[in-house]
Amino acid sequence: MSRRILLVEDDADAADYILKGLREEGFTVEHVADGRDALYMATASAFDAIVLDRMIPGLDGLAVLKALRAAEIDTPVLVLSALAQLDERVKGLRAGGDDYLPKPFAFSELSARLESLMRRGSAKPVQTTLSCGDLTLDLLTRRVTRAGRPLDLLPRELKLLEHLLRNKNRVVTRTMLLEQVWDYRFDPHTSLIDTHVSRLRKKIDEGFDQPLLHTVRGAGYRLSEEP
Amino acid sequence: MTGDGHAPRRPPFGLSVWPWSFALLMFLAAAAALVAALVLVDQTGERIIEAEAQAAARAEHDYLISLEREEGLAALVDTLNLRERLKGGGFRYSLVDARGVPIAGSAELARPSRSASSWRVVQAGANGGQTRWQVVASALPSGERLLVAQNLDLRRAFRAAVFRSSALAIVLASGACIAAGLALNSMLLSRASAIADTAARIAGGDLAARVRTHEPGDVFDRLGVSINRMLVQIEDLMTGLQTVTDSLAHDLRTPLSRLKGALIRAMAPGLSEAERIAAVELAHAEADRTLATISALLDIAQAETGLSREALAEVDIAALTAEVAELFSPLLEDARQSFRIRIPDARVMARTHELLLRQAIGNLLHNASRHAGEGASVALELLEGPEKLEIVVADNGPGVPEADRGRVQQRFVRLDQARSTQGSGLGLAIVAACAKLHRGELLLEDNHPGLRAVLRLAR
How many structural domains is chain A composed of?
2
Q: Does B405 touch chain A (CB under 8 A)?
A: no
For residues A103 and A170, state if they share a domain: no
Which residue in the set B292, B308, B327 is minimally distant from A192, CB to CB? B327
Phi, psi of B218 (to 5 degrees): -90, -165
Residue B224 pLDDT grade (very low, low, confident, very high; cuts 50, 70, 90): confident
Distance from CA of B357 to the nearest CA of A (A): 10
Which residue in the set B302, B323, B358 is minimally distant from A85, CB to CB? B302
Give pLDDT, residue A189: 65
Domain B219-303 class?
mainly alpha
Give pLDDT, residue A153: 92
Answer yes or no: is pLDDT of A51 > 90.
Answer: yes
Closest A-chain CA to B423: A189
For residues A121 and B357, the model is more confident at: B357
Residue B308 pLDDT grade (very low, low, confident, very high; cuts 50, 70, 90): low
The winner for highest mean pLDDT among A88-92, B91-95, B357-361 is: B357-361
Residue B142 pLDDT grade (very low, low, confident, very high; cuts 50, 70, 90): confident
Answer yes or no: is pLDDT of B121 > 80.
Answer: no
Give pLDDT, residue B420: 45
For residues A9 and A114, state if they share a domain: yes
A contacts of B330 (beta carbons < 8 Å):
192, 195-196, 199
Quick check: B366 and A188 CB within 8 A? yes
Distance from CA of B272 to the nearest CA of A (A): 18
Closest B-chain CA to A197: B330
B contacts of A195 (beta carbons < 8 Å):
330-331, 334
B contacts of A86 (beta carbons < 8 Å):
299, 302, 308, 311, 353, 355-356
**CATH assignment of the domain containing A64:** 3.40.50.2300
Mean pLDDT value across residues B10-36: 67
**Of B43, B53, B42, B45, nearest in space to B134 by CA:** B53
The mean-pLDDT minimum among A48-57, B391-400, B403-412, B413-422 falls in B413-422
Quick check: A186 and B281 CB within 8 A? no
Give pLDDT, residue A196: 93
Distance from CA of A115 to the nearest CA of B (A): 24
Mean pLDDT value across residues B252-257: 81
Which residue in the set B281, B311, B423 is minimally distant from A189, CB to CB? B423
Give pLDDT, residue B414: 58
For residues B13 and A217, the model is more confident at: A217
Q: Tell me what the pLDDT averaged over chain A comes to.
A: 86
Alpha carbon distances (Å) from B306 to B229, B232, B356, B437, B442: 19, 19, 12, 6, 16
Give pLDDT, residue B15: 47
Cα–Cα distance measured from residue B337 to residue B291, given in angstroms and rounded to the nearest whole number: 31
A contacts of B422 (beta carbons < 8 Å):
189
Mean pLDDT value across residues A47-68: 88
- In chain A, DSSP finds a helix count (H) and a strand count (E) of 8, 12
Give pLDDT, residue B356: 84
Give pLDDT, residue A95: 76
Beta bridge partners of A132: A135
Distance from CA of A52 to the nearest CA of B (A): 21
B contacts of A157 (beta carbons < 8 Å):
none
For residues B274 and B37, the model is more confident at: B274
Residue B285 pLDDT grade (very low, low, confident, very high; cuts 50, 70, 90): confident
For residues B407 and B183, the model is more confident at: B183
Which residue in the set A87, A155, A183 is minimally distant from B311, CB to CB? A87
Give pLDDT, residue B116: 44
Closest A-chain CA to B294: A84
For residues A20 and A108, state if they share a domain: yes
Q: Does A208 touch chain B (CB under 8 A)?
A: no
For residues A167 and A105, state if they share a domain: no
> Residues B418, B419, B423, B426: is their CA dihedral positive or negative?
positive
Domain B18-204 class?
alpha beta
For residues A8 and A90, state if they share a domain: yes
Quick check: A189 and B366 CB within 8 A? yes
Q: Does B423 touch chain A (CB under 8 A)?
A: yes
Which residue in the set A156, A184, A199 is minimally distant from B362, CB to CB? A184
Q: How many CA atoms lie within 13 A of A66 on its CB side?
A: 10
Answer yes or no: is pLDDT of B25 > 90.
Answer: no
Answer yes or no: is pLDDT of B423 > 60.
Answer: no
Quick check: B353 and A184 CB within 8 A? no
**Of B130, B79, B129, B132, nearest in space to B103 by CA:** B79
The residue segments making up the domain with residue A192 are 129-223
Answer yes or no: is pLDDT of A89 > 80.
Answer: no
Answer yes or no: is pLDDT of B351 > 60.
Answer: yes
List all residues 6 or more positions away from B443 whose beta carbon is below 8 Å from its beta carbon.
B453, B454, B456
The mean-pLDDT minimum among A56-70, B84-98, B202-216 falls in B84-98
Quick check: B323 and A182 CB within 8 A? yes
Quick check: B302 and A86 CB within 8 A? yes
Quick check: A186 and B362 CB within 8 A? yes
Residue B84 pLDDT grade (very low, low, confident, very high; cuts 50, 70, 90): confident
Give pLDDT, residue B244: 66
A contacts of B359 (beta carbons < 8 Å):
184-186
For residues A91 and A167, state if they share a domain: no
Answer yes or no: is pLDDT of B395 > 90.
Answer: yes
Provide the number of CB pairs (under 8 Å) joining chain A to chain B.
Answer: 75
Give pLDDT, residue B14: 46
Give pLDDT, residue A122: 58
Residue A13: how many other CB atoms lie within 10 Å:
8
Give pLDDT, residue B31: 77
Cα–Cα distance measured from residue A19 to residue A29, given in angstroms and rounded to the nearest whole number: 7
Q: Tell me what the pLDDT averaged over chain B comes to.
A: 79
List all residues 6 or more positions away from B456 whose beta carbon is below 8 Å from its beta carbon.
B388, B389, B390, B435, B440, B441, B442, B443
Answer yes or no: is pLDDT of B349 > 60.
Answer: yes
Mean pLDDT value across residues B310-320: 86
For residues A120 and A191, the model is more confident at: A191
Quick check: A184 and B284 CB within 8 A? no
- A155-162 contacts: CB < 8 A, separation 24 or more? A155/B326, A156/A196, A156/B326, A156/B327, A156/B329, A157/A196, A157/A199, A157/A200, A157/A203, A160/A196, A160/A197, A160/A200, A161/A137, A161/A200, A161/A204, A162/A130, A162/A137
**CATH assignment of the domain containing A202:** 1.10.10.10
Distance from CA of B18 to the nearest CA of A (A): 50
Closest B-chain CA to A191: B331
pLDDT in tens, A137-147: 988 888 999 99
A contacts of B334 (beta carbons < 8 Å):
195
**Of A188, A25, A166, A32, nearest in space to A108 by CA:** A25
For residues A89 and A139, state if they share a domain: no
Q: Helices B19-71 and B73-86 sit at what angle, rounded to 10 degrees?
A: 140
For residues A87 and A196, state if they share a domain: no
For residues A76 and A140, state if they share a domain: no
Which residue in the set A85, A178, A199 is minimally distant from B299, CB to CB? A85
Give pLDDT, residue B343: 94
For residues A37 and A77, state if they share a domain: yes
ipTM exceeds 0.90? no
Quick check: A84 and B329 CB within 8 A? no
Alpha carbon distances (Å) from A120 to A99, A167, B166, B442: 11, 10, 99, 41
What percent of chain B is predicted at pLDDT more than 90? 14
Q: Does A166 touch chain B (CB under 8 A)?
A: no
Q: Does B434 touch chain A (CB under 8 A)?
A: no
Mean pLDDT value across residues B340-361: 90
For residues A81 and A140, state if they share a domain: no
Mean pLDDT value across residues B455-459: 91
**Of A118, A222, A106, nearest in space to A172 by CA:** A222
Quick check: B298 and A84 CB within 8 A? yes
Distance from CA of A178 to the nearest CA of B (A): 9
Quick check: A192 and B331 CB within 8 A? yes
Cα–Cα distance measured from residue B323 to residue A159, given in angstroms and rounded to the nearest whole number: 11
Domain B308-458 class?
alpha beta
Quick check: B328 and A192 CB within 8 A? yes
Quick check: B329 and A156 CB within 8 A? yes
pTM recorded for the entire structure: 0.57
Cα–Cα distance measured from residue B294 to residue A167, given in angstroms and rounded to the nearest whole number: 31
The winner for highest mean pLDDT among A85-89, B48-52, B270-274 is: B270-274
Mean pLDDT value across residues A48-54: 91
Q: What's the maximum distance between 2 C-alpha atoms anywhere in chain A?
A: 59
Answer yes or no: is pLDDT of B129 > 80.
Answer: no
pLDDT in tens, A92-103: 777 778 888 888
Residue B198 pLDDT grade (very low, low, confident, very high; cuts 50, 70, 90): confident
Q: Does B341 touch chain A (CB under 8 A)?
A: no
Mean pLDDT value across residues A59-82: 87
Residue B377 pLDDT grade (very low, low, confident, very high; cuts 50, 70, 90): very high
Cα–Cα distance measured from residue B348 to residue A104, given in angstroms and rounded to the nearest whole number: 37
For residues A81 and A176, state if they share a domain: no
Cα–Cα distance measured from residue B198 to residue B202, given in angstroms and rounded to the nearest whole number: 6
Residue spans per domain, chain B: 18-204, 219-303, 308-458
Answer yes or no: is pLDDT of A185 > 80.
Answer: no
What percent of chain B is predicted at pLDDT more than 70? 82
